[in-house]
Amino acid sequence: MKHKRLLNKFTITITDINGSRHFYLSQIVKKIALYVASFIVFVLVASVLYIKYLDNKVDELTKKEEELLQRSKELVSKNENMQKSLSEKAEEYASIESKLADFEEQLGLNVDRKLSLTERMDKLNLTNEQQIGVLMQIPNGWPIKNAGVSGDYGWRQHPVLSRREFHAGIDLRATEGTPVYAPANGVVEFSGWNNNGYGYTVVLLHNYGFKTVYAHLERRQVVQAGQFVKKGQHIAYSGNTGMSTGPHLHYEVRFINKTLEPLYFMNLTRANMDKFFKQERRIPWQSLINLMSTQASQKQR
């Protein structure tokens, strides 16, 4: 029995200067120590693995943070670009609004500025339809095929009289017999010979006080006084009659007997109508457009 007890004990010897001391532990204590040591090893291993796991998580979070920072920078850049674009659009809108206001003023339109731009454009579109009527009533376009200009409107040295005088129209290059067309609806006021140097002449009377004159024509009657003509209708042939130094068409545009720059009217289209109103300021356009708008409204009723 003594021998078993010795076998079931675990001896620990501690030696110091005072000698050796022996301690005996049972096998149960030995197992507890082993369990504790194993647990400590397990905790250490688990801690290492957990720390490694945390390191991986930290790396992932760092990567996500970098991605979020990059995304944030991209969003900031997009926001700046958007703000810039909005600013540019606002400037464009202001410019369009300003031009639209100028055009409304030139046309004599009493438009409520509180309306949206779309609503104001809709009102302007109605006016654009009326502009077609304007171009039918007011002289516009070239009365003959465009072959160039040989004499400008304004002061010049007269080619025959050799003196400085005012040229009331524009001289358009044309061979004899070139067809001449009406630049707007009207009525023939005169068609015949003019003794004041114009030679064979046709004069058209248009609506709203406008008049056009065609001089140095070929002596061949196409239209007669009192005849109504439409825009684009053939009215004469160019020639070389009267006080002329060569074949051409002398063309005048008048408003209540005031001569105007024909080139403005010859280049007039719907696309440049606002520019035209600014070029020719001797005509009360606002009053004219107001009258035409009133007439258009009455017709719609």
Q: What is the CATH number of the domain that holds 195?
A: 2.70.70.10
H or E stretch covering 17: none
Is the separation of the CB atoms in 263 and 121 below 8 Å? no
* 241 and 272 part of one domain: no
* 78 and 127 part of one domain: no
Per-residue pLDDT, 155: 87
* 177 and 209 part of one domain: yes
Per-residue pLDDT, 203: 98
Per-residue pLDDT, 142: 96
Per-residue pLDDT, 57: 86
Report the amino acid identity of residue 79.
N
Q: Is residue 160 part of a domain?
A: yes
Per-residue exposure over 72-110, b if at least 16 CB sit within 10 Å of its own CB, e if not: eeeeeeeeeeeeeeeeeeeeeeeeeeeebeebbebbbbe
Tally the C-alpha atoms within 13 A of residue 136's C-alpha that lie toward its C-beta. Answer: 9
Q: Is residue 221 part of a domain?
A: yes
| β-pair type (170-173, 149-151) | antiparallel
Q: Is residue 164 part of a domain?
A: yes
Segments in the chain below pLDDT 50? 1-6, 126
Q: How far is CA 174 from the centre of its chain?
A: 39
Q: Is residue 144 part of a domain?
A: no
Per-residue pLDDT, 103: 63
Q: Is residue 193 part of a domain?
A: yes
Q: Which residues are 199's β-sheet partners?
A: 194
- What gap in Å lies between CA 293 and CA 268, rounded to an integer? 20
Q: Is residue 18 part of a domain?
A: yes
**114 token code pair:** 């509180």
Q: Compute the residue count for the chain.
A: 301
* 156 and 259 part of one domain: yes
Domain count, the chain: 3
CB atoms within 10 A of CB 28: 10
Q: Is residue 236 part of a domain?
A: yes
Is the separation of the CB atoms in 219 and 241 below 8 Å? yes
Per-residue pLDDT, 221: 94
* 77 and 218 part of one domain: no
* 134 and 172 part of one domain: no
Q: Which domain holds residue 287?
A: 108-138+268-301
> What does the DSSP 8-state code read for residue 19?
E
* 71 and 164 part of one domain: no
* 129 and 190 part of one domain: no
* 50 and 118 part of one domain: no
* 164 and 242 part of one domain: yes
Per-residue pLDDT, 12: 61
* 96 and 23 part of one domain: yes
* 281 and 175 part of one domain: no
